[in-house]
Amino acid sequence: MMMNIDFSLVLVILVALSGLIWLLDSLLLKPGRLALAEEARRNRPASRAGEPDQSRNDGLAREPVVVEYARAFFPVLALVLVLRSFLFEPFQIPTGSMIPTLNIGDFILVNKYAYGLRLPVVGTRIMDVDEPRRGEVMVFFPPHENQYYIKRVIGVPGDTVRYEDGELYINRELVRKEPRGGITINSAFGPVPGTSWTEVIGGVEHTIQTKNQLMRDPVRTLWVVPPGSYFMMGDNRDESSDSRFWGVVPEENIVGKAVAVWMHKDPGWNLPTFSQSRWIR
């Protein structure tokens, strides 16, 4: 799960508001201010130095503070909106469902155009680029709540996905994984013993972790992924709320492809660090 502040909506509102203020002033108010200033210039007597007194004229022509700020911020906000909506957007990881691939406090960069260009806020796709593939890490909105989630793509449209006793099957084939060693997993009930594994899905080699069998919930699911939908799972397999519990993700809920960790900050009064920057696999 990820932060659910809708920055795109906030940016759209700010861009629209600043642009509207600037436009209305340019069309309706500015011509009147300039006309008053010109009339005052013609009617005002010359100063002692023989030159017209410009101070009052400048005051009449000066735009209001709110218009000045709108004119200054509109191009900046518009550029940020375009970058966030169509190119790249940063997110922070608040939970451990993708450990060990992503840690709590990681700041990730999401490619917004990898799966097609979408309109901000509404998410309507306006240009096809590519489709999500098995093994990729994707940011999306789950079907049951309006929050950003990040998980790994396990099943694409038409796939049959089964997960039983810690084993993953895609289209009736067991997804092979090799043990890396024993670890301790921080569960909701405290530290429990587990195992780290190397897994390959869709040609993408990555690391997952599972609880030891006696500590594992008996999750058994069998899904046929419908058209335009995707089956998602976290790499922290026994500590992840994902498609095994709330179903598949529809195509219109896709946000983008997670491509890199660019910064990390531990919770609390800790300084951010760039030492953990890496590509996401």
Please give the single-letter amino acid code of residue 45: P
- CB-based burial, 117-126: b 16+ in 10 Å, e otherwise: ebebeeeeee
Token pair for 186: 């921080």
Catalytic annotation, pick one of 18, 85, 151, 240:
151
Contacts of 205 (CB under 8 A, 6+ apart): 198, 199, 281
**Which 8-state DSSP code applies to residue 214?**
G
For residue 224, the SS3 value is strand
Catalytic annotation, pick one of 8, 97, 229, 240:
97
Q: If residue 195 lies in a helix (H) or strand (E), which one and from where to where?
A: strand 190-201
| Annotation marks residue 151 as catalytic | yes
Token pair for 281: 């696999």
Measure CA 245 to chain center: 23
To the nearest 10°, report the CA torsion of 243, 245, 247, 252.
-60
Looking at the annotation, which residues are catalytic?
A: 97, 151
